Amino acid sequence: MQAMRLIATQVLKNERQYEGGANPRKTLQPNVYEVGAPLEAWLHYHHEMAYIGSSTTMVSFMCNKIPAEGGYTFVSDNVAATESILATPFGQKLKELGICYHRDLTDRDSFIDRVEYGVYNHWQQSMLTDDQDQAIAEARSRGLTAEWGEDRKLKTRYTISAFEYFPQVDRNLLYSSMADDGAWFDTWPLVQHLPPEDRPLKLTFGDLTEMTREEKQLFIDIYDRHGIPIPWKVGDVALICNYRFAHGRPGIHLKEGEDRELGVLIGESFNRLQTFEDKW
């Protein structure tokens, strides 16, 4: 894994920790994280760390173990996805209203000696601290509004544009997806049984109005139309521009004796600019 990391860091400079992240990632090796999702879960296309004020320019995946068939990661052409969504009333609504990310992070100490039903990520793991004051401070430093709920849940909200200006192509590109909604958990063990209103993530328009089921399906379909597979082999290193491409994968079901392990590197931070009116 470290040999692949040395290759990746020839391009991916200024690695960062996964602080403030949503996925429950664990460290495989220094600065190398696991994917952070059950293999059987369907991972909708998404842009890494789009739900906080300090996002990342690039993400790298390194293939350490892969099944004989399948197990691919997919990327979606985000220039094409942007053009497709802006051609719809839903896309124009996203452009006008923006989006709000709602996250409820559970308290790890509440699940000592308990099965973690309904858990996506604990605030201790997301904010890299066990101190409540530091956790709130870390969340707010990322541009989130944050407060404590019942059972010491850290409830965060973040309202921002659904698009982000990308200097290299000099235009605003789509920078949000249904990966940050309760739909993310439709195939997620120990969470999929929860009704939508009780799931750890929720996505609304920026004025807090709800998206319809049809709008959510369109959001998913547009990325899917422009998907491209990465057919992994052990030792492969992929570097993905976090503006230019969204990434995701379908659920993976291994045969006996098989495994799939990808290491993840998080690239250099940037502060969200949102959009410019003359760059559509």
Give, for all 280 residues of the chain, the pLDDT tens digit. Answer: 889 988 999 998 877 665 555 555 556 565 566 666 888 999 999 999 898 888 999 999 999 999 999 999 999 999 999 999 999 999 999 999 999 999 999 999 998 888 888 888 899 988 889 999 999 999 898 888 999 999 899 999 999 999 999 999 999 999 999 999 999 999 988 899 999 889 999 999 999 999 999 999 999 999 999 999 999 999 999 999 999 999 999 999 999 999 999 989 989 999 999 999 999 9
Token pair, residue 155, equals 């409830």
List the chain domain ranges: 2-268
Give the pLDDT confidence score for residue 34 in this predicted structure.
Answer: 67
Q: How far apart are CA 124 and CA 178, in angstroms?
A: 25
Give the pLDDT confidence score for residue 53 in this predicted structure.
Answer: 85
CB contact at 8 A, 110 and 152: yes
**Which residues, at least 6 apart from 212, have a Cβ–Cβ distance to it below 8 Å?**
none
Residue type at 207 in one-letter notation: D
Location of structure tokens 């870390």: 138
Strand locations in the chain (E)? 27-29, 32-33, 43-46, 54-56, 58-65, 73-77, 99-105, 145-148, 154-160, 163-166, 171-174, 201-205, 227-230, 237-241, 245-249, 261-266, 269-271
CA 131 to each of CA 25, 108, 127, 147, 154: distance values in angstroms, whole numbers, following the listed order? 19, 12, 9, 14, 12
Q: How far apart are CA 53 and CA 135, in angstroms?
A: 16
Give the pLDDT confidence score for residue 229 in this predicted structure.
Answer: 97
Per-residue burial over 202-212, b = 16 or more CB atoms within 10 Å of its CB, e = otherwise: bbbbbeeeebe
Token pair, residue 63, equals 């293939």
- Residue 145 φ/ψ, nearest 5 degrees: -85, 140
- pTM score of the predicted model: 0.88
- The answer as to CATH 3.60.60.10 being correct for domain 2-268 is no
